[in-house]
Amino acid sequence: MKTRFYNAYVITCNDQFDIFPNGEVWVEDDKIVYVGEAKDGFMADRKVNCFGDVIMPGFINSHTHLPMQIFRGLAEGTSFSNWWIDQIKPLENNFTSEQMYWSTLLAVAELVRGGTTCALNNYFHQKSPLVAFEDSGIRMATHIDVRYGLDKTKRRHDWENRYADLNKNNPLITFFVSSHSIFSLDETGLVDCTFLAKKYGLPQTIHLCETLNEVGTCEKDTGKTPVKYLESLGFFDYPATIAHGVYVDKEDIDIFKKHDVSVSINMSSNMKLASGIAPIYSYMQKGVNLSLGTDSVASNNRLDMFKEMFLASTSQKVLLKDATVVPPKDVILMATRGGARALYLDDKIGQLKKGYQADIIRISLAEPHWQPLNDIISHLVYSAISSDVVMTMVAGKILYENGTYYIGHSMKEIYENCDIAIKTLLREINKEK
């Protein structure tokens, strides 16, 4: 299949951040074969006149918990610890594989509706969400957690058996080794993460420095910040992406830079749970790779990368009392190239470039909040909303276009099954009280 997008405002997100106001992108099968000024010479099966709309690489959500989609709005107005222990855990204790499947598909629908083409999913159950990803056609990185409560030999074998079962060499699915946090495993367990990452050539991911309580407890127990503690265990000797990174000191940031650790900024979730605001500008000053994540809708309520871009920029302006810091271009790159690098896929996605995967979105400029078109880059961060996305393509396949989803199931079926799932879960929890 050959597709030609023409008469488009093309934002490449490449090294030079090239923009082609009257540009074209040509796609053949799953790859981009041309990006640039308008020209002839491509015999396309489908020609798409974009009428000046933005064509750009899809957003990459570097930290999510997608199966939690049906928990949206059920744990409001509470602190992080109460939110997790009192509100979320009882739901997860009764969560079935089938319920997770439909909940994950609902999340995928929201992702592609808002222009996200790839995400890193973290969840204690990997199998049914993975089936949902495969059925939908979205690109996904998924973690496989090293589990607590097992001795060293069993723990490694348990992880290896699950990896062998889940890894079907699907080109759209990649894997991470993970621990939920520094407290979910003892020291030998955290070392096992690095052992498995080295053995299988996989990156690692972990929640880190998300709350003051986490940092204080770690310093009390180990005499080190969480970042220094993990470095002392050799955790950062192999590729890693950490989620949150809210409470770090200058030495912690230097450690991230030294080991080329990527940080996934989850602004909405951290603000809503009153966890804090990550020091994005400080990271940028040290050259740490930054990406954007939404966390789950149980703590964020939306999988909306436009909102994350807006908050990533404006939060730093308020913190530093400086309106010039973290300009729109920087957060657009966090949402695209930064995410690709955080997922170790920056040789394939994150920019529009010949030979790269055709993970492409089209954003309409037709609504009043875009007008006049004084500064499209600024508008993308401060004016745009997720409903402006009119097409989402992954590996050359359209997953969403003009109100229609192509993710393996009808939206009616997804909504109905999710409604049944959450009502069933809530009934079961109420019986247990």
pLDDT digits (tens, 9 = 90+) for 3-20: 999 999 999 999 999 999
* Mean pLDDT, residues 31-56: 97
pLDDT at 85: 74
Answer yes or no: is pLDDT of 296 > 70: yes
The CATH number that applies at residue 107 is: 3.20.20.140
pTM: 0.96
* Mean pLDDT, residues 31-52: 96
Q: Mark whether 7 and 93 lie in a shared domain.
A: no
pLDDT at 87: 79
Burial of 344 (0-12, 13-18, 19+ CB in 10 A): middle
pLDDT digit string (tens) for 81-120?
A: 677 777 788 888 899 999 999 999 999 999 999 999 999 9
In the numeric block, the tokens 């090293």 are attached to 146
Tell me the residue length of the chain.
Answer: 433
Q: Mark whether 206 and 78 lie in a shared domain.
A: yes
Q: Mark whether 238 and 140 lie in a shared domain.
A: yes
pLDDT digit string (tens) for 271-292?
A: 999 999 999 999 999 999 999 9
pLDDT at 88: 84
Q: Mark whether 63 and 47 lie in a shared domain.
A: no
pLDDT digit string (tens) for 121-157?
A: 999 899 999 999 999 999 999 999 999 888 888 999 9
Provide the residue range defining the domain that includes 384.
2-58+352-405
CA distance 130 to 121: 9
Neighbours of 227 (CB within 10 A): 28
Q: Mark whether 227 and 280 lie in a shared domain.
A: yes
Answer yes or no: is pLDDT of 433 > 60: no
Q: Is residue 429 part of a domain?
A: no
How far is the CA of 30 from the CAs of 208, 377, 396, in angstroms? 35, 27, 4
CA distance 179 to 122: 10
Q: Are 232 and 219 in contact (CB under 8 A)?
A: no
Q: Mark whether 93 and 147 lie in a shared domain.
A: yes
Answer yes or no: is pLDDT of 244 > 60: yes
Total number of domains constituting the chain = 2
Beta strands in 107-251 (DSSP E): 116-121, 139-145, 173-178, 204-208, 240-244
- The b-or-e profile of 120-142 (16+ CB within 10 A means b, else e) is bbbbeebebbbbbbeebbbbbbb
Q: Mark whether 189 and 308 lie in a shared domain.
A: yes
pLDDT digit string (tens) for 358-416?
A: 999 999 999 999 999 999 999 999 999 999 999 999 999 999 999 999 999 999 999 99
pLDDT at 432: 64
Q: Mark whether 298 and 218 lie in a shared domain.
A: yes
Biggest CA-to-CA distance, the chain: 68
Q: Mark whether 171 and 226 lie in a shared domain.
A: yes
**pLDDT confidence of 185, banded at 50, 70, 90?**
very high
CA distance 51 to 71: 39
Q: Are 406 and 105 in contact (CB under 8 A)?
A: no
Q: Is 288 helix (H, G, I), strand (E, B) or coil?
A: coil
Q: Are 358 and 31 in contact (CB under 8 A)?
A: yes
Amino acid making up residue 319:
L
pLDDT at 409: 98
Amino acid making up residue 256:
F
Q: Mark whether 89 and 42 lie in a shared domain.
A: no
Q: Is residue 411 part of a domain?
A: no
Q: Mark whether 123 and 190 lie in a shared domain.
A: yes
